[in-house]
């Protein structure tokens, strides 16, 4: 690993630590509290004033809608899959396995943070729950919402797309993150900072050691060699 890559990892780690501490150390989370509160009540009041918006929030936070996010990620992956040769597709399968393993491990590391944080719908009194407004059993609350699991998984996908398929793939991945992570914030199942601080800080610290070191390539190479199939290397 080159020295410049090592310095980049350390800088990303430092940025992740500073980002987390800027939220964690100040009383009541400092300036982040006003941002969180403003975003939550903007969406919460909007759902009351506009039933159509409330219905949209409910549908996009229904558990079954998570399949749509998987389909979106799968469609992007399929786009690159169809352009590959059979050996390239085998490598893409190995990349997918490496991505899943990284997502599980990084997510578990995120839950080691010393934070117990209720979602805004449970934190504030007299707020509107989208499940009650619409009658749809949507996910609109969490007893421990930090860091945002859903947003973190989407971010990991976007980062892997950048690492192995380029910046244009990353931009599409970012669009998927926004489209499918934002509904959790709109419903009040997550604070904005659960994702913008919690998920992002964990990725800056942990995922950089996976994608910017030989580790991810080593995992991909291992599964490329070990997976069964017609194009298994000798």
Q: Which residue matches tokens 């910017």?
A: 212
CA-based torsion, 13, 14, 20, 25: positive or negative: positive
Under-50 pLDDT residues of the chain: none
| Predicted local distance difference test score (pLDDT) of residue 63 | 81
Mean pLDDT score of the chain, rounded to an integer? Answer: 92
Report the predicted TM-score, pTM, of the whole model to 2 decimal places. 0.92
Expressed as residue numbers, the domain containing 219 is 3-226
Token pair listed for 99: 């991505």
Instruction: Say if CB 152 and CB 110 are below 8 A apart.
Output: yes
The answer as to whether 231 is a domain residue is no
Nearest one of 13, 164, 133, 146 to 61, comparing CA atoms: 133
The answer as to whether 41 is a domain residue is yes
**Distance between CA atoms of 189 and 200, rounded to whole angstroms?**
17
The answer as to whether 233 is a domain residue is no
DSSP code of residue 63: G
Q: How many domains does the chain have?
A: 1
The answer as to whether 135 is a domain residue is yes
The answer as to whether 232 is a domain residue is no
């Amino acid at each position: 690993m080159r020295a410049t890559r090592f310095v980049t990892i350390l800088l990303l780690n430092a940025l992740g630590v500073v980002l987390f501490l800027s939220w964690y150390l100040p009383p009541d989370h400092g300036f982040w509290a006003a941002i969180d509160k403003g975003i939550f009540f903007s969406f919460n009041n909007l759902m009351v004033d506009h039933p159509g918006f409330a219905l949209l929030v409910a549908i996009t936070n229904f558990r079954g809608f998570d399949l749509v996010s998987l389909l979106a990620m799968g469609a992007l992956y399929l786009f690159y899959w169809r352009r590959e040769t059979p050996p390239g597709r085998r490598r893409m399968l190995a990349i997918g396995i490496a991505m899943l393993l990284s997502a599980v491990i990084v997510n578990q590391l995120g839950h080691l943070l010393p934070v117990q944080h209720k979602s805004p719908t449970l934190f504030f009194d007299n707020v509107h729950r989208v499940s009650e407004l619409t009658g749809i059993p949507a996910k609109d609350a969490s007893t421990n919402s930090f860091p945002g699991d859903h947003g973190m998984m989407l971010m990991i996908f976007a980062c892997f797309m950048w690492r192995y398929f380029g910046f244009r793939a990353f931009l599409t991945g970012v669009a998927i993150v926004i489209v499918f992570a934002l509904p959790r914030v709109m419903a009040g199942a997550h604070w904005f900072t659960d994702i913008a601080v919690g998920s992002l800080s964990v990725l800056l610290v942990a995922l950089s050691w996976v994608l910017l070191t030989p580790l991810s390539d080593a995992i991909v190479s291992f599964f490329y060699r070990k997976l069964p199939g017609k194009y298994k290397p000798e």
